[in-house]
Structure 1
């Protein structure tokens, strides 16, 4: 109801209740909240005549053109509920959390390469689904967010890092809500915790308590559709540039690639949307004190070379809009400006097997 400085609150279509908002002078903190029914005679005075009229017009439009809430469709991923609020002022957050808890399910089994892990299994298992660097810029910290799939987590416990092939101790476990952090001593299946990451974890990594290896299915990644060449302006800051670009890439926000026979002085960045380039430029400047030059490239399609052990990438008969690159692990890939070029390259190289982007 309203927006900006005229923001007055939110209307819950399910309960048909209105939660009004009143901020302090700076507008950055909710100082009072009050609930009203839609037909409450005091509502018009509380939100103003103009907002009152707009509210009824909007509800009439939503009731006629909007979708009705259906829990089965929500659970199937066919319908998405929308909530309005402000994390900055902590308004509407409690309402969202209450609805979320009522709509979500209890922890579900998760598939692995070896079978299925049940959330009631006593052995601890979990997987990393997000990494965030510089959450506290003063300390250059790095946090890996882990979802617990089964068993019980206790602070400081030693677990197997499957992809790293080593045992690690999970220190400084914490849970976060907005800008608040708290240390956790215990957590269970379905919980999400942040653990200190010295640079050994990647998105999709599995952690388990038992010596029996468990490898969860990878997390799907979106193939980048926009590409740009990035280089640092000040060549004396190469170390900061490489560190920054690698850490941001490990978070999954961007993908980074290199020319076949070049180093990290100049790299190719792939992103799902062009806004991510602006985020990259800002974070390199703000967090690593590195200014970069960014040149957009005409490519829109990327493919893995699945059988690169059998085919020399340099010998591939390509098209004029094809470019050979490699990822940070040395795997060769091909970039194309046009989709029809992908099919043409396959026709010219019958033994070549190309795959789209897969999973972490």
Structure 2
């Protein structure tokens, strides 16, 4: 039973540039899974209705996803866990961390814009970790680039080796349907198919005269030529190469109109990996081990603003996680148990009694968890690969209402634990600095402090080029002591108490490195 449950799980992330249609694709997958009855993410309607996976107030206002959502549904007896990530580059850090919790990813690319910069960065992280990737080229009903040009661009810009598993019949205004190379059949769309019940006609034979009547002989001839080209130019699909991260299948479609989404989903559940092994500092953990282990990859404060609760999202790596069972919180070396672990369906949370490898569980947390924490049946395991990156933007944070100092401190503390941004405390005067990957996060923090904690803050600009984590060869070394004395006003500590050097320019960082060769400077906190 346990092994069957593992084999049923598929946990994946959806990544893309903003506006490539990622949230819409997530909605349509849920629609096929029967998890929702109608799609709510039509752009113009987004603020009134809100896509199912965007559940923070500021996301509803902005129409962008700022927090990774966790959604689950059952499709063809497979339990599918989707981690929908923010596309906006200001929230890239949240996405990088989420990629530590997935077993595979789907990359969404806009047919008109092709490969964009944010997509390149995210795919690079997937490539570094050899995460299996499926590419979905979206918005085929709009005018865009030629399908072969797009495939070339994906290969050159993203460094992927692709093989199309579906092919469009016409593009833009001439878009007539999809030929499914994986199942060798053609599907035509005869009317608006915004619900999953839209009318489609399938053909198993390309020589069917009815097919020629519906799409014209010219279109059919073009399709046959293009399919011949696909089989001549691109490598045949190999599941082993896909799982090893060496071959990336490509699907075409339009998520908004539900074209090609089911083809993607049907193939995905056939080929995507079940929960995979995970490297810990001590050893490699296999999903089918009896003893439980998991790690926190995300913390979300105030899921319910009335109750000030925090949820720690845990990816289960091995064994089963059971309700009301004591587990070891490795960093605190304490046993903890949970009476109401949650499984998610966007705004709907359900209490679960037992969860299996691959599942994502939300645990109510009063402030004990940090991102990267391990939870086990008793073994001391530390999972690797959840770093903090050097922020790009820095500002002093000031309290704008002296009566609310306590609320502000609590709010900042909790939001930083969530990984929304990083907090640095200056060594000289204890002033607090917030560092973020993107400028938009300052607005999100200000908004959430006011609406969730009743605290008002203001910001003050600060000229910092990079935050570098400092690693001395020897703390007593006179060179390190001298560095601390000379650079005192540029030194701070992060939330974990690690020493950080706030360099004000790339030149001053270079000069400091030259002057103190025994001190190492790192741009990520995990070294």
TM-score range, shorter chain: 0.7 to 0.9
1:329 counterpart SS class:
coil
1:347 counterpart SS class:
helix
> Which of 118, 121, 124 matches 2:292?
124
1:224 counterpart SS class:
coil
Mapped partners of 2:507, 2:259: distance in 1: 50
Partner residue in 2 for 1:238? 405
Partner residue in 2 for 1:304? 469
2:289 counterpart SS class:
coil
Mapped partners of 1:183, 1:207: distance in 2: 19
1:261 matched to 2:428: yes
Partner residue in 2 for 1:291? 456
For the structure 1 residues 69 and 226, does the alpha-carbon distance in structure 2 shift closer, same or farther, using more than 3 Å as the test?
Answer: farther
Partner residue in 2 for 1:220? 387
Contact kept in structure 2, 1:317 and 1:349, CA below 8 Å: no
> Which of 339, 343, 349 matches 1:171?
339
Mapped partners of 2:420, 2:292: distance in 1: 29
How far has the Cα of 1:293 moved from its partner?
Answer: 1.0
Contact kept in structure 1, 2:196 and 2:258, CA below 8 Å: no
2:361 counterpart SS class:
strand
Mapped partners of 1:354, 1:257: distance in 2: 16
Partner residue in 2 for 1:150? 318
1:209 matched to 2:374: no
How far has the Cα of 1:313 moved from its partner?
Answer: 7.2
> Which of 313, 337, 353 matches 2:504?
337
2:512 counterpart SS class:
helix
1:106 matched to 2:274: yes
Mapped partners of 1:243, 1:18: distance in 2: 56
How far has the Cα of 1:356 moved from its partner?
Answer: 2.3
For the structure 1 residues 40 and 325, does the alpha-carbon distance in structure 2 shift closer, same or farther, using more than 3 Å as the test?
Answer: farther
How far has the Cα of 1:329 moved from its partner?
Answer: 3.3
Render the CA deviation track for 1:70-99: whole Å, top value 9, x for unaligned. 77468628869688647xx99998777655
Mapped partners of 1:140, 1:232: distance in 2: 21
For the structure 1 residues 202 and 5, does the alpha-carbon distance in structure 2 shift closer, same or farther, using more than 3 Å as the test?
Answer: closer
TM-score, normalised to structure 1, is: 0.76
Partner residue in 2 for 1:49? none
Partner residue in 1 for 2:124? none
Contact kept in structure 1, 2:483 and 2:516, CA below 8 Å: no
Partner residue in 1 for 2:440? 275
**Alignment RMSD (CA, Å):** 4.0
> Which of 191, 198, 201 matches 2:366?
198
> Which of 398, 414, 418 matches 1:247?
414
Partner residue in 1 for 2:53? none
How far has the Cα of 1:253 moved from its partner?
Answer: 1.5
Gaps of 5+ in 2: 1-20, 22-41, 47-138, 142-165, 168-178, 181-185, 204-210, 216-222
Mapped partners of 2:388, 2:487: distance in 1: 26
How far has the Cα of 1:355 moved from its partner?
Answer: 2.3
Partner residue in 1 for 2:74? none
Higher helix proportion (structure 1 or 2)? 2
**What is the number of equivalent residue pairs in this alignment?**
329
How far has the Cα of 1:101 moved from its partner?
Answer: 3.3
Mapped partners of 1:232, 1:91: distance in 2: 51
Mapped partners of 1:337, 1:188: distance in 2: 47
Q: Which moved more, 1:339-348 or 1:243-252?
A: 339-348
Bigger relative CO (Cα 8 Å, ≥ 6 apart): 2
For the structure 1 residues 139 and 274, does the alpha-carbon distance in structure 2 shift closer, same or farther, using more than 3 Å as the test?
Answer: same
Mapped partners of 1:226, 1:80: distance in 2: 37
For the structure 1 residues 33 and 105, does the alpha-carbon distance in structure 2 shift closer, same or farther, using more than 3 Å as the test?
Answer: same
Mapped partners of 1:5, 1:144: distance in 2: 33
TM-score, normalised to structure 2, is: 0.54
